[in-house]
Structures are given as structure tokens and as C-alpha cells.
Chains A and B, each alone.
Chain A
Amino acid sequence: MLELQGVSRLFGGLAALNTVNMTVNAGKVVGLIGPNGAGKTTLINCVSGLDHPTSGVIHFDGVEIQNKAPHQITALGLGRTYQNIRLFGDLTVLENVIIAQHQHGKANLLDSLFQSPRHRREFKQQVERAFELLKRFHLDSFSDSRAGGLPYGDQRRLEMARAVATAPRLILLDEPTAGMNPVETHEFGEQILKLRDDGLTLLVIEHDMALISQVCDEVYVLNFGEMIANGTVDAIKQNQDVIEAYLGRED
């Protein structure tokens, strides 16, 4: 579904990503781990169009996306969350999820000026779908609250709901459980598995190995911009290069 071939991203002389190859197959949950500064966020910024690789090719469902704008990539069916929560803090929870359905709407300015049936029908559908999603992520009771005023864990879940609202086939999660306690993290893992069971594909960046073991079918390991290993969770845990990258070498 997602394929990176020889992707490099140079910042001046520094290679944040160095000829990275990676494949995410449909219907799987794939983990991406690595020490801080390994280039994980750069990688998913390149995939979601916020950044563009210096060289290399990224295919999403057979379409080359490395030079496309973010909204074009979203239209192809790719959603994401952010390492630092980036909700529309001044808007309500409901509005956050409605805005995410933007690309599925067709109502233009004239429709809303004249309150055309299309505008009203579309808005009603979007509100219904938003409530469905909020219920799924246990946020429906906060629908009219300011998104910025929610507790931390709820903000994380709202960001996830907002990403799902764009109706993606692949979701990129950038450290989705950062700052959550183990119980919340486990519940969040259940949500990820539920999404996978619904037919979504997920790429999860995470430091929490408990979550990685809980949800991932396959794990890639990035270190200093290079992909040093990939395989099942158990294989990665035994991999000598990976242990070295995290803990250093024994002299």
C-alpha cells in the first residue's frame, strides 16, 4: 500500500533520511521505532506531504506522491496525527471533526448563501458522521467543548478521531500515546486494533514497546536516518543492531 524506495532527505549536509526503503502492506499495523533524532518524524512528514524527499520515490497505492501537496495526498486516502497535539484549540470538538470531512463535501459558498438543500443535507450528514466517530472514541459528551480545554488523553483521542474522519485507508500515528499512562496506552492500543479490523492500515511511530508488542504486525527500526532492521516484534527485540542502537555497544 505504501512503498518508499531509496528515500533521502538532506538538511544542508545532514542526512535526516538516507536511502530508506520501506513497505507497508494493506491491512497491517506497522511500527516505526528508533532513538530520538533518528528521522522518524521526517519520514512521515515526507509521506504526508509536509516535507519532500531530496531524492527517492514514494508510492501510495501505485501513485507517486513525493512531490504532491498535503491536501492532494489526503485526498488519496492518507490521514495522520502529530507528535505534539495539533488540534484546532479554539474550535469545538465537533467542529474539529466536521472540518476533517472537508474534502468529502461539495457545498460551495453559494450553496451556503442560499441554504440550498445540498448544503443542509451535507451538513447534516457530516454532523451525524462526526457524532458516530466521537462516540467511537468516547468523546461524544464533550462535543460542544473547546477542543483546547480537553484533558490530555482526550485530546490525543480527538486527534485520532479527526484523522479517521478524513476517511483514510492509511493512518500515520506520530507517537500517539506520548504522555499517557499504561492503562490509557493499552486502551488506545485496542482502538488501533479495532481500526485495523475495520480494514484500515496503520503506521505507528512509538517509543512504548508495550504498545508496539500489543499492536504491530511488523516493525521497522530507523537509526541516524538509516533503516537498520525490520521484522516481527520478537525478531526485532533479539536483533543485535537494534540493541546496539538503543543501548550502545559493549566494548
Chain B
Amino acid sequence: MDAVFDFLAPVGLNETNFQFMLIAAILGCSIYVTLYGGMFSLANAGFMAIGTYVSVVLTQRYDWPFVPAIIAGMVAGGLIAIIVGLPVLRLSDIYLAIATIGFGEVVVVLIRNFDRIYEEIFDKKIEITGGGKGIKNIPVTTDTLHLIIFLLIVVYFLYRMQHSRFGRALAAIRQDETVAANLGINVVYYKNVAFIIGAMIAAGAGGLSGHLNRVIEPDDYDFDRAVDILTYAVLGGTTFFIGPVVGGMVLRYLPELLRRLKVLSFVGSIVGRDLTNEQAAVDGIINGIVLILFIVYLPGGLADPQLWKSLYRRLRPNNTQKGAP
């Protein structure tokens, strides 16, 4: 493993970066499940926060072992998805997006004020979520292998889902909810199950990232994060299971590559300002541009099989003679 990363170091790919790319890939998968069923949900940053905080609180404050804590975080995400999904999934399109953005904000606010609320109600001082400062000095327990295994399980799930009765029902709902219902598909049930699965994947990614970061803060899971997750899936494609993995990895790697290529200091030297400390803002700009370009020019995403097939056909030599029947 180390040899691989030594080799890749000149292009900005070290093990830490790779780990965050894997997290991004898992997050992309989490929103892929709901998008596959035609649900435009931005709740996954909220579920990620729930997974992170539940598992980190369990390992740090209650001395739970690592794996059970991650699973507990996923279960917590799933349970909250049941409660949130039933009312929220009656909405569709932009209304669902707005409601789920609201959910994410509520989660962040609740986490930030959890200790205070507890104190108000039970009249007893505690330190669970640590308020706005978050939880510090978390030992790094997640390693690359954990992430790879989790991602492989998720990808295998998505691959099987596509060719299952469950996945076909979701595809039908995405295409035309009314017709799906008239063909005997219980639309409410399938939407909720997809929502819960997406929430559990996001919560799992959260738990794993929480034990990778040393510090977690509520602000890590706000609206920006929700949009990042959406961008991963849109960039990679939302109808083919490899899409969100490719999208998450590419988009998480792009800023590192730009940093390595010293693009920022180059642009800074042109405009005559030092931009090297503006990395976060630049990441946002890149995400925005990528989102717009892909929605306009490549709506199928990077991993769209149709795109590669047509590209292959165009690049293959003598295609006109051989291809014609």
C-alpha cells in the first residue's frame, strides 16, 4: 500500500486524501439510492451528522468498541429516516428538496444545542455533543481497509439493486409514479425503504469519517455538505451504480490535484493577490462550475455507459465500414 502512495504522491494522492475520496464515494452512493427512486432528497448530510455523532459519542464518552459504534450510528440514522420519511416523502421535486434541507439544518442546530437543551430539561450539566466546538482529540481508528470494505459492500448492494425487483420498482417510480402505482407497486413503501437505506449508508460514512478526522463540529454537516453529496452523484451519474463512486472520488481529488499543480498561486499571481489560503472558497467554486457543466452537457454523468459506448464507437478506427450492417 505504502509503495503505491509513494508512487502517487507527486499528483497529490496520499493515503489521507484517498481515505477522504472513499468517504466521498460512499456519500455519493447514499444519495444515489434516493435519486434512483426519483426522490430529490438533500437529507443525507443530516443523516451523516447523526451517524458521526452517535458513533463518536459512543466510542469517546461510553467506551464502545469501534465497529458496534459505527453500526449503532447507522441504526440511529435508519430509525430517524423512518420518522422523517413518512411525512416528508409525500412531497416531490423541489418541495422535497426544501423540506430535506430544512431537516439537515434542524439536525445541525439540535446537535449544536444538545447539551444546553438537556441541561434546561433535566437541570443537569452534561457534555455529549460538545456544542458548537464539537468533539476534539478523537483517536484515528478508521483505516483504509475499513473504508474499502464498506464501499465494496455498498457498491455490491447498488449493483444487485439495479437488477432486482426492488430496484425495478424504484426505477418505475422514478419514471412515472402514477403508472407505477397502477401497475401494483406500493409507491409509499418503496420510497420509504429507499430513503432509509440511503440514510443508513450516509450515517455509516459519517461514523467512519468521524473516526478519521480527530475533530468533529456541527458546522461540517450544513447545507454545503448536502450540496457536495449531491454533486458527487450528479457528476458520476444517477442511473448506473458506478456513477456515484467515480463522481465522489473525482470531485474529492480535484482540489488536491489543483493544489499540487499550484493552480491557485498561478491564478493568484495573475490577479496580483495571494489566494493560497482561499482553498475552501475555491472548492465551492469548482463544485458549482462542475455541477452546472455536467447538468448542461453530460446529464448522464461521467460513468454513463451510453456515453462511453458512443465515445468508443467514434474513436474506433474504420468504424463506418465495420459498423454498418
Task: Let me know if A108 and B182 touch, CB within 8 A.
Answer: no
Give the residue name and chain of the B residue nearest to A88 (CB): B175
Partner of B179, one of A86, A105, A111, A119: A86
Interface digits, A105-126 against B, CB 8 Å rule (1 contact, 0 not)?
Answer: 1011101110100010010000
- 8 Å CB interface, B185-201 against A: 185-187, 193
Task: Let me know if B179 and A102 touch, CB within 8 A.
Answer: no
Interface residue? A166 (CB, 8 A) = yes
A203 smallest CB distance to B (angstroms):
14
Q: Which of A48, A70, A100 has the most CB of B within 10 A?
A: A70
Identify 27 residue pairs between A and B in the complex whose beta-carbon atoms are under 8 Å apart, listed by A's number.
A48-B182, A69-B181, A71-B184, A71-B185, A71-B186, A74-B181, A74-B182, A86-B179, A88-B171, A90-B239, A91-B171, A99-B172, A100-B184, A102-B168, A102-B169, A102-B172, A102-B183, A102-B184, A103-B183, A109-B161, A111-B164, A112-B163, A112-B165, A113-B157, A113-B160, A162-B183, A166-B184
Task: Let me know if B175 and A89 touch, CB within 8 A.
Answer: yes
Measured between beta carbons, the chain A residues less than 8 angstroms from B168 are 95, 98-99, 102
Task: Let me know if A109 and B164 touch, CB within 8 A.
Answer: yes
A85 smallest CB distance to B (angstroms):
10
Interface residue? A80 (CB, 8 A) = yes
B180 smallest CB distance to A (angstroms):
8
Task: Let me know if A103 and B166 touch, CB within 8 A.
Answer: no
Partner of A99, one of B178, B183, B239: B183
Partner of A107, one of B157, B165, B171: B165
Partner of A112, one of B161, B178, B182: B161
Task: Let me know if B184 and A74 touch, CB within 8 A.
Answer: yes
Closest 6 CB pairs of A and B: A112-B164, A103-B184, A70-B181, A74-B184, A88-B175, A99-B172
CA distance A7 to B248 in the complex (A): 54
B174 smallest CB distance to A (angstroms):
9
Interface residue? B274 (CB, 8 A) = no
CA distance A50 to B179 in the complex (A): 9
Give the residue name and chain of the A residue nearest to B175 (CB): A88
What residues make up the interface of B, taking CB atoms closer than 8 Å to A?
A: 156-157, 160-161, 163-169, 171-172, 175-176, 178-187, 193, 239
CA distance A79 to B179 in the complex (A): 10
CA distance A122 to B180 in the complex (A): 20
CA distance A119 to B156 in the complex (A): 16
What residues make up the interface of A, taking CB atoms closer than 8 Å to B?
A: 48-50, 69-71, 74-75, 79-80, 82, 86, 88-91, 95, 98-100, 102-103, 105, 107-109, 111-113, 115, 119, 122, 162, 166
Q: Which of A99, A100, A108 has the most CB of B within 10 A?
A: A99
CA distance A102 to B184 in the complex (A): 7
Assess A102 versus B185: contact at CB under 8 Å? Given A86-B179, A89-B175, A91-B175.
yes
Measured between beta carbons, the chain A residues less than 8 angstroms from B185 are 71, 99, 102-103
Task: Let me know if B178 and A86 touch, CB within 8 A.
Answer: yes
Give the residue name and chain of the A residue nearest to B193 (CB): A109
CA distance A20 to B15 in the complex (A): 71
CA distance A99 to B190 in the complex (A): 14
A21 smallest CB distance to B (angstroms):
24
CA distance A111 to B179 in the complex (A): 25
Measured between beta carbons, the chain B residues less than 8 angstroms from A48 are 182
Task: Let me know if B175 and A90 touch, CB within 8 A.
Answer: yes
CA distance A75 to B186 in the complex (A): 10
Task: Let me know if B164 and A74 touch, CB within 8 A.
Answer: no
Given A102-B183, A105-B165, A162-B183; 13 other pairs, CB 8 A cutoff: A48-B182, A79-B182, A80-B182, A82-B179, A86-B178, A88-B176, A98-B168, A99-B183, A103-B184, A109-B164, A111-B164, A112-B160, A166-B183
A126 smallest CB distance to B (angstroms):
9
A206 smallest CB distance to B (angstroms):
20
Measured between beta carbons, the chain B residues less than 8 angstroms from A107 are 164-165
Partner of B182, one of A50, A88, A89: A50
Partner of B166, one of A91, A108, A122: A108
CA distance A50 to B175 in the complex (A): 17
CA distance A98 to B169 in the complex (A): 10
CA distance A48 to B181 in the complex (A): 10
Task: Let me know if A109 and B175 touch, CB within 8 A.
Answer: no
CA distance A216 to B12 in the complex (A): 73
B189 smallest CB distance to A (angstroms):
9
B162 smallest CB distance to A (angstroms):
9
CA distance A89 to B175 in the complex (A): 8
Assess A119 versus B164: contact at CB under 8 Å? Given A70-B181, A88-B179, A102-B185.
yes
Measured between beta carbons, the chain A residues less than 8 angstroms from B179 are 82, 86, 88
Measured between beta carbons, the chain A residues less than 8 angstroms from B187 are 71
CA distance A104 to B193 in the complex (A): 20
CA distance A109 to B43 in the complex (A): 23
Measured between beta carbons, the chain B residues less than 8 angstroms from A111 are 164
B252 smallest CB distance to A (angstroms):
27
A162 smallest CB distance to B (angstroms):
7
Measured between beta carbons, the chain A residues less than 8 angstroms from B156 are 113
Measured between beta carbons, the chain B residues less than 8 angstroms from A95 are 168, 171
CA distance A48 to B157 in the complex (A): 34
Task: Let me know if A99 and B166 touch, CB within 8 A.
Answer: no
Measured between beta carbons, the chain A residues less than 8 angstroms from B181 are 49-50, 69-71, 74
Partner of A88, one of B157, B161, B172, B184: B172
